[in-house]
Chain A
């Protein structure tokens, strides 16, 4: 079994190289290779997953194998693969979503469409003019860097697979960084747009801040335990030793500090407050990339890593409190921003931040199974929503090109009435949206979110519980706002009027993901749930719960969280419908509040607090003052002083004393004695003298040290 796991990441990587090196010119072959590679990895993942769930007591009989990699002193740092229950479910959703996104990209990047009239690499395609029935009109044109896009997607998928199958922090970090790099390449895919370039740098930089802390955490962990393999570091005696060791930082134990450092990596990668700023800007990339980053891979990887590190993080209560606080705060904070966004993708971006906050909060209250559950369901419904929004944008673009309408095709106020134009997209988006809102029983999102709320309540974290409940209410509300503005009512622009359903390569992935978004929740119904509990066993809890030696207790059933969860979901959805069914323009929208629209001014604040001062220090202080003024100044001062000394010696000592008194004086003496030697001096004598003096000194020194010492 382990050989398949070793091979899982390879097909997308090979696809990357083959496309970049050989098939760049041939678009059909390139996407064939990329999709084929994703399909292979998907197939392998399914084999691994099915074998895993068929294995008795899989938590104790995981798949693992390792080889030597980095020599360290007398031993080797090993790297290897490992699939345990948590890895298996992560592999499951990653494989599905990645494969769907690959297929979807074929349609999204306009395969089969003509070349654009003025398209050039680095900018989104602008459309091509075609003649049909003697009439000219504009249709979407194929992406100019079509093959390169699939190559980058392949590399991205490789990163995710490496991360999931790793049995150690080091290769996990490698996969983690590859994804960071790919996010940079893909967010900046349309590098001709300055906004895309800036977003790419911002995404990379912000996650990088998290990464260096994570790297420090890894370094510390390695120093403390001498290993980075999960099996070794999660041994009870190792964990005990880490929990007992004290550190001088914040009074945390070693375990707490390492956990915190690793968690900061997650904060960056999963876009938690205060490092959340990159994710909404990441919308600058093509939509399949957004789905890739927001659902299938990158942000999920952050939460996955945090869940993976749970045994370590959970050792120190202080760290756990920080985790719970950041998660809950982010969940609510991002939800408040989402309600005021008009860009269809930005709403989803903030909802992603918010939902990741739910998972982190669940982790913080100790409910790691609930966090994993929500991670999986979220991956499905969020991939669905992003691909759905991409489909909407694509349909809108079609209409815009057809009619020559220049309205912003991502602004929801330019949409409306799309349910009739794009029925498949509408129904699947509805399922995804309801899953996000936690629509009771029918959707996967309900079960996972309910479990988080129940756990927060059951473990007595009332503040977390209330915060998350409010956030969930907002979630349902803005989701319904989005659905209403996009799909209901009448078309508000020409583009919306002429929007058309997208090709099957795009709708098929939507349908498949919709099945999971609705159905996946059934594997995790709590045993004591009224009416439904116990009919299907709570497989997810059993399975993922066996990841750790200590099986987590299922919380006792209580009506309070269930009622809350029902109320916030249905109430939010209902209110959203009531408020927005008649809204036609942003002016009628009472939530266009500047502070929310401007994301609580975090970008501005960071710019003012960090970016500008950093530049000031770099430019004014370090570069101009220290380097150019102070150090160079001293240097030039010294140079000028020695020049001055030179002039001084020459003009006041050399010329009057040596030259005239001794030199010329001697000369005069000689002259007086006899004219035969007159030509020798001619002002040169001082030069010979200096030379001989120096030689003398050198010989003296050498003599002193070399000969004198004998």
Chain B
């Protein structure tokens, strides 16, 4: 039997969380090292899975299946395709870098890392699940610790409000999707006579077009809430801002991808006819996301809100790419999920580093950070270039195909409007960079900005290297995503 890579990846964080919880609260060092070791282990395995994924064979690989509740057709069923394998990798990266930059957490690190890792297990689980029920199961596992992490370790001013808002939004979203999923389950059982949550089987069930048209919307939108789709994006910037740094990284870096990914996996892939019917609506909403997020980001004075709303804007590009339903757009969206995940993780890490030292995130009160924090400045500049789709960086590899995809749908004006929003992105990002890093340093900060730690540096360099690496050698990621897209296109009827 093949080594069960995916189950080990999924359950490593959970096991580490349990181990950590057994420690004494004072064993802070042991907690950190255990977390880092577990993170590195999971990352190493996900790198292996990524490399070993056979692009030639395509399809779902590393499949494992263990019956759990056979009477309901529920099984622990893992497998990755070209769409999810980069996301598994992304989760590993964000997990490790998140641990690295949270090294200095002194307030109950045991519980913090335990919750963070339960969250990570949930995220891995969603990306790797091929069972609809398990997908929901892991989804809830991912959402629940978020509440605690924000409410306990978050920014004191808004943490309770933000945690509540986020949790309500996400649970409502998942309930709406769940209803749709259960209806699919039930209908499929009626059609085929077999009760199963197996998504591979559900893919082959041809739901009636009318059925698909009705149920696509709740399923897709329910998940899209977590993907930050307008007008359900509102929880996300508040949540980002209130969350502690590592949680923001997870939140924007992978949690929002969870929504987009599940919307793709359950919405578009299982209900392709519905997707075709509703695509123009989704594209319009996503377009609003792109422009709207960019506009709001440009007037925020809180550094973290700027990044939070820029995530709303960039996740709009993901939704846009998926909704084009063509090869270019979806490939771009797939790469964008990874690229944006790395980029925002870096942004939030950088914001956290600045905030920890300056004790403010108000942009007008910051300045001159380039001198004490040169690597953070470089990191933010690289992130900015990614966010504005500069060629040579991963953002371009993602955005260019998305624009091509939009253009191919003949909705040209959408391509133009979306492209112009990139200009707005450039505007606000550059202003922030100039002010925070190159402006005059306020007198009260002079001498208070200590250099960052070696682990922080490793995290920043790793994230930067990924964005530049994919930008220069897109063949490191694009072929994976393309195999996934090919499968989706076949479900969509070879469109």
Contacts and interface: CB of A to CB of B under 8 A. Distances in A.
Interface of A: 68-73, 121-122, 170, 173-174, 177-178, 181, 184, 188, 191-192, 197, 200-201, 204-205, 208-209, 212-213, 215-216, 218-220, 222-223, 248-249, 614-615, 617-619, 622-623, 626-627, 631-632, 635, 705-706, 709-710
A-B interface, 9 closest residue pairs, ranked by CB to CB distance from nearest:
A618-B295, A174-B391, A619-B299, A212-B419, A191-B438, A622-B295, A219-B404, A618-B299, A623-B296
Given A177-B390, A216-B407, A622 B419 contact: no
A618 B426 contact: no
Nearest to B300: A623
A56 B430 CA distance: 49
A173 B391 contact: yes
B352 to A, nearest CB: 24
A68 B408 CA distance: 23
A660 B419 CA distance: 64
A632 B388 CA distance: 28
A72 B296 CA distance: 34
B343 to A, nearest CB: 17
Contacts of B389: 215
Contacts of A191: 434, 438-439
Given A219-B400, A223-B407, A631-B234, A212 B423 contact: yes
B305 to A, nearest CB: 10
A622 B438 contact: no
B416 A216 contact: yes
Interface stretch (B206-214, B267-275, B473-481): B473-481
Nearest to A619: B299
5 contacts: A174-B392, A181-B385, A212-B420, A216-B416, A618-B295
B390 A188 contact: no
B2 interface: no
A205 B298 contact: no
A255 to B, nearest CB: 16
Contacts of A121: 371
A632 B233 CA distance: 11
Nearest to B427: A205
A615 B299 contact: yes
A245 to B, nearest CB: 13
Interface string B135-157: 00000000000000000000000
B474 A70 contact: yes
B186 interface: yes
Contact of B299 (A213, A220, A623, A705): A623
Interface string B381-415: 00001001111100001001101100110001001
Nearest to B165: A635
Interface size band for B: 35 or more
B285 to A, nearest CB: 13
A331 to B, nearest CB: 27
Given A184-B430, A249-B412, A215 B292 contact: no
Nearest to B185: A705
Given A223-B407, A623-B299, 17 more contacts: A70-B397, A71-B482, A177-B392, A191-B434, A209-B423, A212-B420, A213-B419, A215-B419, A249-B412, A614-B298, A618-B295, A619-B299, A622-B295, A626-B292, A627-B234, A631-B231, A706-B195
A582 to B, nearest CB: 45
Contacts of B186: 705, 709
B204 interface: no
A281 to B, nearest CB: 15
Interface in B203-227: none
B466 interface: no
B403 A215 contact: yes
Contacts of A205: 423, 426-427, 430
A549 to B, nearest CB: 29
B402 to A, nearest CB: 9
Contacts of B404: 219, 222-223
B427 to A, nearest CB: 6
A192 B440 contact: yes
A223 B402 CA distance: 12
Contact of B474 (A69, A173, A617, A706): A69
A208 B419 contact: no
B448 interface: no
Interface of B: 72, 165, 182, 185-186, 189-190, 195, 231, 234, 292, 295-296, 298-300, 327-328, 371, 385, 388-392, 397, 400-401, 403-404, 407-408, 412, 415-416, 419-420, 422-424, 426-427, 430-431, 434, 438-440, 474-475, 478-479, 482
A204 B479 CA distance: 33
B442 to A, nearest CB: 15
Contact of B431 (A70, A192, A201, A614): A201
A346 B420 CA distance: 30
Contacts of A635: 165, 234
Contacts of B440: 192
B459 to A, nearest CB: 19
A197 B299 contact: no
A71 B416 contact: no
Given A181-B385, A201-B427, A201-B434, A709 B478 contact: no
A693 B432 CA distance: 54
Contacts of A223: 404, 407-408
Contacts of B391: 170, 173-174, 177-178
Nearest to A701: B182
Contacts of B299: 615, 618-619, 623
A426 B161 CA distance: 70
A627 B296 contact: yes
Contacts of B189: 709
A215 B388 CA distance: 12
A204 B426 contact: yes
Contact of B426 (A208, A215, A619): A208
B167 to A, nearest CB: 12
Contacts of A216: 403, 407, 415-416, 419
B408 A622 contact: no
A459 B182 CA distance: 73
A71 B195 CA distance: 40
A219 B295 contact: no
A407 B439 CA distance: 27
Nearest to B481: A71
Contacts of A632: 234
Contacts of A71: 474-475, 478-479, 482
B256 to A, nearest CB: 17
A177 B384 CA distance: 14
Contacts of A617: 295
A122 B300 CA distance: 26
A630 B175 CA distance: 24
Nearest to B237: A627
Contacts of A626: 292
Given A181-B385, A219-B400, A709-B189, A618 B390 contact: no
Max count, chain A CB within 10 A of own CB: residue among B186, B295, B298, B407: B295
A71 B473 CA distance: 10
Contacts of A220: 407
Contacts of A627: 234, 292, 296
Nearest to B431: A201
Residue of A184, A200, A216, A222 with most chain B CB atoms under a 10 A cut-off: A216
Contacts of B296: 618, 622-623, 627
Given A71-B479, A192-B440, A219 B434 contact: no
Nearest to B231: A631
Contacts of A706: 72, 195
Nearest to A635: B234
Contacts of A618: 295-296, 298-299
B223 to A, nearest CB: 19
Nearest to A642: B168
Nearest to B294: A618
Which of A208, A249, A632 has the most B CB atoms < 10 Å from its CB? A208
Contact of B195 (A68, A170, A197, A709): A709
